[in-house]
Structure 1
Amino acid sequence: MSDITVIILTYNEEIHIRRCLENVKKFASKVYIVDCFSSDRTVEIAKEFGAEVVEHEWPGNQAEQFNWALENLSFSTKWVLRLDADEYLQPELVKELNEKLPSLPEEVSGIIFNRRHIFMGKWMKRGIYPVKLLRVFRYGKGMCEQRLMDEHIQLTEGCAVEFEHDFCDHNLNDLSWFCHKHVNYAIREAVDLLDIELDLTGTAEMDENKNISRQAQAKRMKKHKYVRQPLFWRSFAYFCYRYFLKGACLDGKVGFIWTFLQGWWYRTLVDAKVYEIKKECGNNKEKIKRFLKDKYNIIL
């Protein structure tokens, strides 16, 4: 076993949790399930696998929940891995982790993995793969940055190294669930874009100073450029970039569905939310913040 504790945030994840825990038991010394009072069999299954379950009310976003776990749970391992219930490590990555983790130098505080998306049972090899995410860090030397969307693990000291192999984001729910999830994401993504454009929170310029993965930093900077493009045109251009230039068109019908829904439909919905907010509030920052609080219970 590796000297690593896994933290998994859950709410009604019985469809995924067994697969996830069967995977992490191959390398983890300790597993915490931080659950939000699930009404299905998530907790029951987790306890079957010997995971320690801690119930904690949802604070409003993933970052706050994860950081609460870091601050309030007991850790006896040197390393921490953040994993979602619908994610798992490929066998090659499990082997790489077990072999390399004990010999990493002290100045290395984080490990970056490649994430592959499995959609409708198919690996989306083109379009956005590989997504590089910092998911493992030395306990006490990392935390989750506070964002409504696209939050990453941020190192507080030390540097990160990249591992060669992949972990998978493989959700087993149907297309209706997938679309509904993105409808819920859209308002938070719209607020994130408005924050970059108008600096609603006074933190827009801090992104470039954060110790996150190089790819995540580059993606964040591209988002700053994306914000300056015209509404609705930018979502179409993003779809074309992923589908044609990045080769998602070679992934068949499933590749089209994936890229259309996530790369055009969702991005258009986000722009529609931005348009709705600006139509009501213009560029008045205080008015936007009041509108978000009253309409969506989002407090900036």
Structure 2
Amino acid sequence: MLDITVIILTYNEEVHIRRCLENVAPIAKDIFIVDSFSSDTTLDIAKKFDNVHILQNRWENNYAKQFNWGLQNAPIRTKWVLRLDADEYLLPELVEELQSKLPSLPEDVTGIIFNRRHIFMEKWMKRGIYPVKLLRVFRYGKGMCEQRLMDEHIQLSEGRAVEFEHDFCDHNLNDLSWFCHKHVNYAIREAVDLLDIELDLTGVAETDENKNISRQAQAKRMKKHKYVRQPLFWRSFAYFCYRYFLKGACLDGKVGFIWTFLQGWWYRTLVDAKVYEIKKACGSDKEKIKRFLQDKYNITL
């Protein structure tokens, strides 16, 4: 067993939670479920595991806020913390790598970056987006989730991160209707994130170079800043073409097309439509936009 605590956010995750817990329970000293008052059997399943502890907190439409609440309120007694979603799991090779390397890492290493692979419609999306490198393990007290509506990463307060070789999987078992509905919900938050980059709605201009997040996360964030400056709707089409043709997703067959179209074009077009909707109603008036978001989407900046 490793000197590590796992934090998992849940809301009605009965389809995933057993797989997730069976994956990490053998290697983790403690697992904290931060639940948003699930109404299915999520908690009944979780209670069957001896090292699982359950906390409940009201969801406020903000992943970072919920994760940091768990980090602050869970009685963590380990050196390391692993952030994991209920529909994710570590591959056996990554488990072995953790067992081999984690106990002997030098003290100045405070974060560990994994490769994330997406499994979509039971197929690994090898091209177009893989590998996504994410900092998912950090020394307790040395990291927290940066406060963003979307695209939030673990940010280290000190030390350095190292990359591990092997992968964890994002493997959601819900159907396409669920997938699309989830992205409809994501779209407004992504639109607000883009508007914040463009107009500085929050009044705190980003200085990404000073954020202690992974190099790939920094590069992705800077690409997002360039993306914001491109014309609405054209940019979503260009992004699809980039992933599908230049990054090779076209080689992943029909499933690769569905994945790249839905996530890389349809979703991005929906985000642009939300940006267009907000600007049509408010122009570039920051205060008017913030009131619009509060009144229509219950989003407070």
What is the TM-score normalised by the length of structure 1? 0.99
Which whole-Å deviations, capped at 9, do the CAs of 1:149-195 have from their partners, x for residues lacking one? 01000001100000000000000000000000000000000000000
1:116-131 matches, cutoff 5 A: 116-131=117-132
Which stretches of structure 1, 4 residues or longer, exceed 6 Å deviation after superposition? none
1:213-232 correspondence runs (5 A): 213-232=214-233
- After superposition, residues 101-116 of structure 1 pair within 5 angstroms as 101-116=102-117
Shift of 1:54: 1.1
Question: Residues of 2 paired with 1:168 and 1:36: CA distance?
Answer: 23
Deviations 1:96-140 (A, max 9, x none): 001100000000000000000000000000000000000000000
The Cα shift of 1:49 comes to 1.4
**Equivalent residue letter for 1:287:** K
Q: Is the 8 A contact 1:194 1:274 kept in 2?
A: yes
**Structure 2 regions of 5+ residues with no counterpart?**
none
**How far 1:266 moved relative to its partner?**
0.2
For residues 141 and 171 of structure 2, the distance between their equivalents in structure 1, rounded to whole angstroms, comes to 29
SS at match of 1:295: helix
Matches within 5 A, 1:8-27: 8-27=8-27
> 2:166 and 2:31 mapped to 1: Cα distance?
22
Write the mapping of 1:15-94 to structure 2, written as runs, cut at 5 A: 15-50=15-50, 51-94=52-95
TM-superposed CA distance for 1:58, in Å, is 1.2
2:18 and 2:150 mapped to 1: Cα distance?
Answer: 27
Q: Distance in 2 between matches of 1:244 and 1:11?
A: 36
Structure-2-length-normalised TM-score: 0.99
Equivalent residue letter for 1:137 = F
Q: Aligned partner of 2:201: which letter? A: L
Partner amino acid, structure 1, of 2:102: L
Residue 204 of structure 1: how far off its partner (Å): 2.9
**AA aligned opposite 2:77:** S
| TM-aligned CA deviation for residue 72 of structure 1 | 1.2
Using the alignment, how far apart are the partners of 1:196 and 1:21 within structure 2? 37
AA paired with 2:15? I
Percent of residue pairs identical = 84
Structure 1 residue 206 displacement after superposition: 2.5
Letter in 2 for 1:82: R
2: CA distance, partners of 1:140 / 1:63: 16
The alpha-carbon deviation at position 205 of structure 1 amounts to: 2.5
**Paired position in structure 2 for 1:159:** 160
Partner of 1:146: 147
The residue matched to 1:52 in structure 2 has which SS? strand
CA contact (8 A) 1:248 1:256 kept: yes
CA distance in 2, matches of 1:198, 1:208: 19
The separation in 2 between residues aligned to 1:200 and 1:209, in whole angstroms, is 20
Moved more, 173-182 or 41-50: 41-50
Paired amino acid for 2:162: V
For structure 1, which segment, 42-51 or 122-131, has the greater mean C-alpha deviation from structure 2 after superposition?
42-51
Residue matched to 1:240: 241
Query: Runs of 5+ in structure 1 lacking a partner?
Result: none
Q: Distance in 1 between matches of 2:14 and 2:262?
A: 25
Quote the residue 1:190 is aligned against. Answer: 191
Distance in 1 (alpha carbons) for counterparts of 2:206 and 2:74: 32
The aligned residue for residue 3 of structure 1 is: 3
User: 2:250, 2:83 → 1: CA distance?
Assistant: 32
3-state secondary structure, aligned to 1:19: helix
Moved more, 133-142 or 207-216: 207-216
What is the Cα deviation at residue 25 of structure 1?
1.6
Deviations 1:188-227 (A, max 9, x none): 0000000000111122323231100100000000000000
The alpha-carbon deviation at position 71 of structure 1 amounts to: 1.0
Contact residue 26 and residue 94 of structure 1 kept, 8 A: no
Question: Residue 167 of structure 1: SS of its match in structure 2?
Answer: strand
Which stretch of the first structure deviates more once superposed, 203-212 or 48-57? Answer: 203-212
Q: Matched residues in 1 for 2:6 and 2:224: separation?
A: 30
Determine the C-alpha separation between the residues in 2 that align with 1:161 and 1:203: 29
Question: How many residues align structurally?
Answer: 300
Alignment-mate amino acid for residue 7 of structure 1: I
Whole-Å Cα distance in 1 between the matches of residues 257 and 246 of structure 2?
13
Query: How far has the Cα of 1:26 moved from its partner?
Result: 2.8
